[in-house]
Chains A and B, each alone.
Chain A
Amino acid sequence: MKQFQYVRPTSQQSVIDALTKPGTKIIAGGSNLVDLMKHGVMSPDKLVDINKLPLRDISSIMGNVRTIAIGALALNSQVAEHAMIKERLPLLSQALNAGASAQLRNMATVGGNLMQRTRCPYFYDTALPCNKRNPGSGCGALEGFNRMHAIFGQSEKCIAVHPSDMAVALAALDATVEVVGKKGRRYIAFKDFHRLPGDHPELDNTLAKDELITNVIVPENNFAKNSYYLKVRDRASYAFALVSAAVALDIDNGRIQDARIAMGGVAHKPWRFYEVEKALKGKPASTETFEQIGELAMQGAKAYKENAFKLKLTPATLVEALKHAARIA
């Protein structure tokens, strides 16, 4: 690992000031950044340890809409085990527990989880081409090993997927990311936080260089009774998703009043299925209903040499998750 300077500021303002210098990166849990630094994928000159900032709380906030605010430094394990999260946002708790290992969840923070980089092998191997790591060098995965890669929203520049489970649940739950920077505080809708690769796969998200994530805010909802996170992977635990589905239904008298669907392992960001959500509204929460939406869900999907199996696995996972959420599995 290359040498770097290390600072541990105690105020938000010092963190923001430090971020204005190029080569500066924030470290929170470090579970992905230290890994990337060991691989030589990232080599910051300076690390700003933000663990002294008071951003660990998980709290219920009364307002026009009741929300739950989760501090950016709350640990993945802390959120997953939190009584209020388990009761009111069980989908988030499930998704968190499906990710990484118990050890890593004790290190990884909510903010860091959103900022983690893709695990595409071409991104991780500094000897290989990758437009995300080294813009203009090409995408090795396009014609190479692409079993784990995207089927939605990809570009010729990048077909990598976002690795987070937590983010898939937050996308389904219409979370908001609260950030603070030189220009002050702003709120980014979750769907706008992560980017599609387009011509700039080096940019994972829309956070400005001087900005720091402070909270993730989730509006309260009627989905707690009928939500489910289903992750399909190569081994039973501790592996990244081939595909995963976060499904939240509001069911009244056997009819779907409202639905939220996001999937992981299929795109450069958690992928929302707005058309499917619309199509489910008003329909009976039945196996028949769910099995009919597979085709709609897969519109626009495009596979590569090694990941064509995702064209079948994705709708199958989605239907299975919907059945679990509706408690008819």
Chain B
Amino acid sequence: MSNMGFYVSPEQLMLDRANYAKKGIARGKSVTVVSYKDGILLCAQNPSSTLHKISEIYDRIAFAGVGKYSEFDQLRIAGVRHADLKGYSYSRDDVDARGLANIYAQHLSQVFIHDHKPMEVELVVVEVKADQTNDEIFHVLYEGSVNDEQNFAALGGEAEQVRDHLANNFKPNLDLKSAIALSTEALEAQIASSDFENSNSEQANPVETTNSSSPKIQVGDLEAAVLERNKEGRVFQRLTDEELANYLT
């Protein structure tokens, strides 16, 4: 990074980079992960039905990313390649979420320190296990730190409200319908708070605030997929708009 010969303290450099990455990530909508009785549910607010935030990596492993699409999609592709190569050279049982989360972390920290700019992404790598208490949720941040989350996770710019909502309402052994309800409510909490911020900053437009009922996510704006706990082989399954509409009524 060019500093034109002036001294920049390492603290300042790291802070600038972190702020740059955070800003990029904050532009995107959040993703939720919720472990439930029969699997793990991943939900994202995503109006596009073709540019996915949630994807399959391997038999029991899924991936979700927020931030800059081109960057997390590049990491998704690398993850699928890593998993398929590992499964081919060893065995399908040897591919695990922890290993993948670690090499993502390595790569992100390498880029954060050495490249021209940090990656504006936040990822989650999840693996469904036979027993709900053993489900693995790894949350990887833009600078390469890894958090091992229990039961649920939220990522994205407004993740704090979403995470708070999940933390206050999560129960073990939810069924899929309740898990979807919990996830969409958490995502809606985020919209509500960001709308609140907007209405505060844009006081020239007070008409918007008269609509006080909490905003609902439309089925078409929701992307959802599950890793099914009790199936064999490739257990990743996207939920169609029809299925989602049924669960949300």
Q: Do A and B come from one complex?
A: no
Chain B interface residues toward A at CB < 8 A: none
Residues of A within 8 A of B (CB): none
